[in-house]
Structure 1
Amino acid sequence: MTDPISAGQAAGSRTVLLFASAATFVAFLDVTVVNVAFPDLRASFPDVPVSWLTWVVTSYTVLFAALLCSSGRLADVMGRRKLFSSATAAFTAVSLLCAIAPNVELLAVFRALQGAAASAMIPSALGLVLAESPPEKRAAAVGTWGAAGAIAGLVGPVLGGGLVEAFGWRAVFLINIPIGIVVVYGTLRTVRRDQPVKQALPDPVGTVAITVGVGAFVLGLSEGERWGWGSVATVATVLGGAVVTALALLRSRRHPAPAVELSLWRSHAFAQTNVIAAFFGAAMYAVLLSSPLFLTGIWHYSVFEAALGVTPGAVTSAVAAIAVGRWVSPHGRLLMIVFGSLLVVAVTLWMTFGLGSEPQFLLVWLPCSLLSGLGMGAVLTGLASIAAGSLPPASFAAGSGLLMAARQVGGALGIAAVAAILSVGGNQTLDALLSVFGFCAIVSGVAAVFGILLYLRVRARRPAAAAAEKQQADARPS
């Protein structure tokens, strides 16, 4: 069944895609540029312990992951345009507060608010893109939208390094403001109001519970190395977060207006893409974290040189995201999930056994970076498009939020694994970092297995679905 869409709506879908991609760009740009600005932050606040400074990064990550589960559903119920424009306005305003923060404590609080705004901005943006795009063009739109995040990863370290060197760390937050103003103004002026789903607002108790649960779980994983993996604080935070999350999901199962729309997981394709997203997210975030550590710690590159060293992968990731969305068939996107995961397996194994203490940029690092970027772009676009194809239109934002939450939680697990491997094997030693790449190969291999299972299931159901359609067609009166 094809949704009717007018030529005017098609033009509107391109406008929505432009603004949604711009908002996604600044949200992911803010992650990478802050990492680059960290040394300048330390210099600006020399009396503040490094453990406190890390909250500038951690607070954003925790709030972003914690609120994704419920913010997508909130967008569907409130109206995606309304939440998107409000969240982007909040993100822009808080960026200004970050830029003028007088101390680290307030900066960490403002970064947490930034993460909360981003968690509402991203799924509502993708929900708008899916709702406004014709069904046959949704995958291409998802690819373009996903490429915005990859491009942010490309320009973030280089742009951030230049801004910090020229103007200091406050400049990395000021760059968001003009983009945010244009997005909010353009959205309110040109994007038509969407019709909210006629349902009650999500259960507030369940929303708070799922936020606290996921947030505590991610916090424990993020701080486990510093607190100690066997410490009371780490164990209590991780286990407590898992228990609260489970209770929130049980409440959502029975509540008439659930915080988390568990009914979406009845679709095998959607549930399977969430599982793949979690495992692949663990591998992807581990690669993204360990790659610059390897370049700076083993090959002694400068921060700027390391940023340039990971740039080729960001380029091919953006290219793959656009290509898979625009030119690969729905059936082919399932194969892209498998192919991309296996490509990351092959690349990380190559890195595990091919890299050494002597720089081998052209012979090993460059091809590995290019190929891993291709794999990541193919998998992420394939997952988003397959998941979107299994969602009812009324739940586009809710489903997008759940898929991204799965990826973020998986990413937190991957980063925690990197920290644990490095703490056991010796911080940034060659053997420890090579072990991290081996871990990435294993986890990406698990994602590939689930991708193969999903492909085989869909392939097995295709003849039955075709027969059912033929039977319905034969039954219609001529």
Structure 2
Amino acid sequence: MTDVSPRPTAVRPDTTPLAARLALLVASGAAFMSFLDLSVVNIAFPAITRDYPGTAATTLTWVVSGYAVAFAALLTPAGRLADSLGRGRVFLAALAGFALTSLLCALAPGADWLIAGRLLQGGAAAFLIPAGLGLVLGATPPERIGAAMAAWTAAGGFAATVGPAVGGALVEWFGWRSVFVVNVPIAALLLLAGVRLIAGDRRHGDGLPDLVGTVATGLGIGAIVAAVTEGQQWGWVDWRTLTAGIGGAGLLAVALWRSRRHPRPAIAVGLWRSRSYALVNATAFVFGAAMFAWLLAGPLWLDGMWHYSVLKSAGAMTIGAIASMVTAVLAGRATADRQRLLGVLGAVMFAAATLYMSTGVWDATPALWQAWLPAGILGGGGIGLLITVLGTTAARSLPPQRFAAGVGMNVTARQSGGALGVALLAAVFAAHPGAPLTAFHTLFAVCAVIAVATAVLAAVPARAEEAGA
């Protein structure tokens, strides 16, 4: 099995301090933009549902899960394609694609167009991440790679922190379409700054990624998400639900089978030969389901149950985002032998927050300080601890030259679980029409159960071992 991470070349590209800073600046800006879109759309989602009253809420959740599905399916093959065609060229093309698809979302005349735009936008974002990481690794001297990766990772974390505030302000002042329009000038600036990166571009891949496996991965994840999302409406034993669920599982099985044999796999299964790394990704997948469902449920609760304005909702959501940033910094500074304990603690904190939110304390009466504040601190703080531990452990469980591939696959696992989590939210609400409080309590209870399962996985001792090639 060949490697899927950016590989060194016989002739290193420009590694002058200016080139390294430029690559880091542009790649971090792109990471900030792509991860920002995950959080701002959650804030905008209630407004989107009001603008498309004729579209079922379960269908509209594809605005969130469609981005996650495309991102997860294309992240690994995107890294391979960037190697083959040149990271700078792929990166700039992905930036342009992200700007165009953002504009498509902003101008969408109907829900179908918006969902299609989000699928394409998620695909463009999937190319931004590995190509950007490859540029940073190629332009940064070996002794500075650790610091550069920390800065790149911080950009994604900062996006999650400021996302609620930025999204709330944009929606309140300019409407939900503005959360997509704002990507266009940002991408244009990054494009102008990044043109110089092509000068040192090198093509050093050994072929294109497995197209059949890539398509099977995307369709498989999407079909399973569709079965969970629409199952309540279609009927759980309806032929459409069964076809989507069984067919999706079959397509994923085909993708995994091909990835074990193909020299340029769609899924980096070779990395899973490390028991530690496989366990980390399983944990990320399971937790992703609860985390994505919780993050989308928050704005829906504030809008539908407490009737908060968009700005007030954004302010409330910022509590958890800030708690996440603080605990992420603390977890990042912890020694390796304490990280597993912090990961378990993060999952337990999140479980406590969601279990608390499933009780009668949470009702239609607004209780920002008594209910939302403690839950936001616990839940957001738990996310910061666990996500940081998972990312750090993923990197440590693989050789340094496979860092980019390892982090990318960890993000893929989390995004795949997240797509299922959003589908779960849609299914729970479809099962309780006209009873939103019951639906919210049920969803939070399910999230608590998933978080407990995450804590169990995070507590399993890991072994330091290298994945096979």
**Fold match (TM-score > 0.5):** yes
Would you say 1:379 and 2:366 are equivalent positions?
Answer: no
Which residue is equivalent to 1:244?
Answer: 251
Which residue is equivalent to 2:5?
Answer: none
1:361 aligned partner, one-letter code? L
1:126-183, Cα deviation, whole Å (9 max, x unpaired): 4555666677876665554444344434443443343344334432222111211222
Aligned equivalents of 1:443, 1:39: Cα separation in 2: 25
Aligned equivalents of 2:266, 2:21: Cα separation in 1: 31
Which residue is equivalent to 1:388?
Answer: 395
More displaced, 180-189 or 159-168? 159-168
Which residue is equivalent to 1:475?
Answer: none
Which residue is equivalent to 1:72?
Answer: 79
Which residue is equivalent to 1:347?
Answer: 353
1:310 to 311, 317, 325: 317
| Contact in 2 for aligned 1:80/1:397 (Cα 8 Å) | no
Which residue is equivalent to 1:471?
Answer: none
1:432 Cα deviation from its structure 2 partner: 3.5
Which residue is equivalent to 2:106?
Answer: 99
1:20 to 27, 44, 59: 27
Which residue is equivalent to 1:332?
Answer: 338
| Contact in 2 for aligned 1:71/1:120 (Cα 8 Å) | yes
Aligned equivalents of 2:342, 2:439: Cα separation in 1: 31
1:202 Cα deviation from its structure 2 partner: 1.5
1:35-75, Cα deviation, whole Å (9 max, x unpaired): 44456556766777767766544543432233234223333
| Contact in 2 for aligned 1:126/1:400 (Cα 8 Å) | no
Alpha-carbon spacing, 1:387–1:75, altered in 2? closer, same or farther (3 Å): farther
Which residue is equivalent to 1:253?
Answer: 260
Which residue is equivalent to 1:285?
Answer: 292
Aligned equivalents of 2:280, 2:139: Cα separation in 1: 23
Alpha-carbon spacing, 1:30–1:133, altered in 2? closer, same or farther (3 Å): same
1:401 to 408, 429, 434: 408
Which residue is equivalent to 2:443?
Answer: 436
Aligned equivalents of 2:318, 2:461: Cα separation in 1: 32
Would you say 1:113 and 2:125 are equivalent positions?
Answer: no
TM-score by length of 1: 0.82
Alpha-carbon spacing, 1:347–1:196, altered in 2? closer, same or farther (3 Å): farther
More displaced, 236-245 or 302-311? 302-311
1:207 to 204, 211, 214: 214
1:410 Cα deviation from its structure 2 partner: 1.2
| Contact in 2 for aligned 1:32/1:157 (Cα 8 Å) | yes
| Contact in 2 for aligned 1:151/1:314 (Cα 8 Å) | no
| Contact in 2 for aligned 1:87/1:121 (Cα 8 Å) | yes
Aligned equivalents of 1:7, 1:80: Cα separation in 2: 14
Larger radius of gyration: 1
* SS of the residue 1:320 aligns to: helix
| Aligned pairs for 1:411-450 within 5 A | 411-425=418-432, 429-450=436-457
| Contact in 1 for aligned 2:165/2:314 (Cα 8 Å) | yes
1:19 Cα deviation from its structure 2 partner: 2.5
| Contact in 1 for aligned 2:15/2:140 (Cα 8 Å) | no
> How many residue pairs are counted as aligned between the two chains?
454
| Contact in 2 for aligned 1:293/1:428 (Cα 8 Å) | no
Would you say 1:272 and 2:261 are equivalent positions?
Answer: no
Alpha-carbon spacing, 1:322–1:248, altered in 2? closer, same or farther (3 Å): same
Alpha-carbon spacing, 1:6–1:125, altered in 2? closer, same or farther (3 Å): closer
TM-score by length of 2: 0.83
| Contact in 2 for aligned 1:66/1:211 (Cα 8 Å) | yes
1:29 Cα deviation from its structure 2 partner: 2.7
- Structure with higher helix content: 1
* SS of the residue 2:206 aligns to: coil
Aligned equivalents of 1:26, 1:317: Cα separation in 2: 19
More displaced, 108-117 or 27-36? 27-36
| Contact in 2 for aligned 1:65/1:409 (Cα 8 Å) | yes
Which residue is equivalent to 2:155?
Answer: 148
* SS of the residue 1:281 aligns to: helix
Aligned equivalents of 2:402, 2:392: Cα separation in 1: 14
1:90 Cα deviation from its structure 2 partner: 1.2
Which residue is equivalent to 1:465?
Answer: none
Alpha-carbon spacing, 1:9–1:277, altered in 2? closer, same or farther (3 Å): farther
Alpha-carbon spacing, 1:318–1:106, altered in 2? closer, same or farther (3 Å): same
RMSD of aligned alpha carbons = 3.4
Alpha-carbon spacing, 1:398–1:71, altered in 2? closer, same or farther (3 Å): farther
| Aligned pairs for 1:83-98 within 5 A | 83-98=90-105
More displaced, 58-67 or 435-444? 58-67
Alpha-carbon spacing, 1:130–1:79, altered in 2? closer, same or farther (3 Å): same
* SS of the residue 1:356 aligns to: coil
| Contact in 2 for aligned 1:317/1:375 (Cα 8 Å) | yes
| Aligned pairs for 1:161-172 within 5 A | 161-172=168-179
Aligned equivalents of 2:251, 2:124: Cα separation in 1: 23
1:313 aligned partner, one-letter code? G
1:343 aligned partner, one-letter code? M
Identity of aligned residues (%): 44
Alpha-carbon spacing, 1:107–1:423, altered in 2? closer, same or farther (3 Å): closer
1:352 aligned partner, one-letter code? S
Which residue is equivalent to 2:376?
Answer: 369
| Contact in 2 for aligned 1:144/1:322 (Cα 8 Å) | no
1:253 Cα deviation from its structure 2 partner: 1.1
Which residue is equivalent to 1:30?
Answer: 37
